């Protein structure tokens, strides 16, 4: 088991505070061998000042059967609207860039209304529901490689830090109420296992993709997680399952992702969805199938995706 202890960064540093908690790591043979696909990972660090304009739409899944789905636009503007996640109550939270900072917005489908949910002095992104709590966890970016994990209660009470010693955190996904997997920026970027209350993280893998998720109803276990990594001998990514508690070397390849896609989302029924250009694809255990081509709907190329808990809506990030 490889572990890493970080020197604590300040819980509330001011902008411009020097990065702390970083550590050098020699790239493994895996990262070197698949450097072609791994070069894609160099663009994964959120940099919203230069981020391309993207929009978010949702699909009514019950209308997909006739290849002419009902599409609802959540955003439609020349700005970075990205990283959607559904709350347990069905609302959609996402990252929205403004002229000054990135904020967390929320979209209410019943009212067809968008509003700012959280706005702080620092950039906020990757809003994710906290299991068993009325809150979201976010990455709070103080600049200079200080990117911390914070909890923002939805009732408006004060934010609290969840992890300030490990820096810089790029993305995260909850395993249960105490554990998470983290995408930690560095050379190379790493996948790490974190437990709340600890300043130590267990190293799991080099060069992961940015999409981290729990696998629903998984044959790999009730807490099985997934991530993408460069596929052997190909300029592609493969989807990998990991069961926390097992040896870090015991990973199971699920399927190779199409083209250069690294983003995906698990539907509640256990199928995997991803994009290939403007095509929306689904994998149910045999091969990828095209569900609908967004070009025919007048929409751009697909990147991130997120499912509602009831399986009735799929949120999709598209290029403008």
Strand, helix or coil at 49?
helix
pLDDT recorded at residue 65: 79
- Label residue 67 by pLDDT band (50, 70, 90): low
What count of residues does the chain have? Answer: 320
pLDDT recorded at residue 51: 80
- CATH code for position 161: 2.120.10.30
What stretch of H or E contains 55? strand 54-60
Could you tell me which residues are beta bridge partners of residue 136?
129, 152
Cβ 151 vs Cβ 160: under 8 Å: yes
| Number of domains, the chain | 1
Q: Is residue 27 part of a domain?
A: no
Q: Is residue 31 part of a domain?
A: no
- Kindly write down the DSSP assignment for every residue of 7-40, as one continuous string: PPPPSSPPTTPPP-S----PPPHHHHHTHHHHGG
pLDDT recorded at residue 5: 37
Cβ 98 vs Cβ 106: under 8 Å: no
Strand, helix or coil at 131?
coil
For residue 1, pLDDT over 90 is answered with no
pLDDT recorded at residue 198: 94
Going from the C-alpha of 117 to that of each of 99, 155, 259, 311, the distances in angstroms are: 17, 10, 35, 24
- Cα–Cα dist 196/179, whole Å: 6
φ and ψ at 317, to 5 degrees? Answer: -90, 130
**Most confident of the ranges 27-36, 228-237, 238-247, 271-280:** 271-280
CA torsion, ordered 71, 55, 155, 225, to nearest 10 deg: 90
Report the 3 state secondary structure along 180-240. EEEEECCCCCEEEEEECCCCEEEEEEECCCCCCEECCCCCCCCCCEEEEEECCCCCCEEEE
Q: Is residue 285 part of a domain?
A: yes
Q: Is residue 23 part of a domain?
A: no
Structure tokens at 101: 């900072």
- Gyration radius of the chain over CA positions: 19
Cβ 276 vs Cβ 261: under 8 Å: yes
Q: What's the mean pLDDT in 62-67?
A: 81
- Label residue 235 by pLDDT band (50, 70, 90): confident
Short-list 85, 155, 112, 82, CA closest to 319: 82
Q: List alpha helices for the chain, DSSP H.
A: 29-33, 35-38
Peptide bond into 168 cis (omega under 30): yes
Q: Is residue 166 part of a domain?
A: yes
For residue 221, pLDDT over 50 is answered with yes
178-187 pLDDT, tens digit per residue, is: 999 999 999 9
- Label residue 260 by pLDDT band (50, 70, 90): confident
For residue 217, pLDDT over 50 is answered with yes
Q: Is residue 2 part of a domain?
A: no
Cβ 318 vs Cβ 297: under 8 Å: no
For residue 172, pLDDT over 70 is answered with yes
Structure tokens at 118: 């959280």
Strand, helix or coil at 32?
helix
Residue 48: give the domain boundaries. 36-319
272-293 pLDDT, tens digit per residue, is: 999 999 999 999 999 999 999 9
Q: What's the mean pLDDT in 131-157?
A: 97
150-161 pLDDT, tens digit per residue, is: 999 999 999 999
Q: Is residue 24 part of a domain?
A: no
Short-list 208, 296, 84, 230, CA closest to 280: 296
- Cα–Cα dist 13/271, whole Å: 42
Rounded to two decimals, what is the model's pTM? Answer: 0.85
Please state, as a whole number, how many other Cβ atoms lie within 10 Å of the Cβ of residue 258: 18
Q: Is residue 80 part of a domain?
A: yes
**Complete edge-to-edge strand list for the sheet that includes strand 237-242:** 213-214, 225-230, 237-242, 251-256
77-105 pLDDT, tens digit per residue, is: 999 999 999 999 999 999 999 999 999 99
- Label residue 15 by pLDDT band (50, 70, 90): very low
């Amino acid at each position: 088991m490889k572990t890493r202890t970080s020197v604590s960064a300040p819980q509330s540093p001011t902008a411009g505070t020097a990065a702390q908690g970083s550590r050098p790591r020699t790239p493994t043979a895996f990262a070197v061998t698949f450097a072609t696909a791994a070069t894609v990972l160099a663009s994964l660090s959120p940099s919203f000042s230069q981020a391309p304009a993207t929009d978010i739409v949702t699909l009514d899944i019950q209308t997909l059967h006739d290849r002419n789905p009902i599409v609802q636009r959540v955003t439609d503007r020349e700005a970075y609207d990205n990283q959607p996640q559904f709350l347990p109550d069905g609302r959609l939270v996402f990252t929205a860039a403004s002229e000054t900072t990135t904020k967390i917005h929320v979209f209410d489908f019943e009212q067809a209304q968008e509003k700012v949910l959280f706005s702080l002095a620092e950039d906020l992104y990757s809003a994710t529901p906290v299991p068993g709590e009325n809150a979201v966890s976010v990455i709070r970016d103080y600049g200079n490689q200080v990117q911390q994990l914070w909890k923002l209660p939805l009732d408006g009470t004060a934010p609290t830090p969840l992890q300030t010693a490990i820096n810089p955190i790029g993305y995260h996904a909850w395993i249960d109420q105490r554990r998470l997997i983290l995408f930690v920026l560095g050379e190379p970027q790493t996948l790490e296992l974190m437990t709340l209350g600890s300043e130590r993280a267990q190293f799991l893998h080099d060069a992961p993709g940015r999409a981290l998720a729990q696998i629903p109803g998984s044959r790999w276990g009730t807490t099985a997680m997934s991530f993408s990594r460069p596929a052997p001998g190909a300029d592609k990514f493969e989807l990998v399952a990991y069961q926390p508690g097992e040896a870090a070397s015991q990973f199971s390849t699920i399927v190779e992702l199409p083209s250069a896609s690294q983003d995906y989302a698990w539907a509640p029924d256990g199928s995997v969805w991803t994009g290939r250009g403007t095509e929306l694809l689904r994998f149910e255990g045999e091969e990828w199938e095209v569900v609908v081509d967004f070009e025919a709907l007048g929409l751009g190329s697909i990147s991130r995706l997120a499912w509602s808990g009831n399986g009735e809506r799929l949120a999709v990030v598209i290029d403008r």
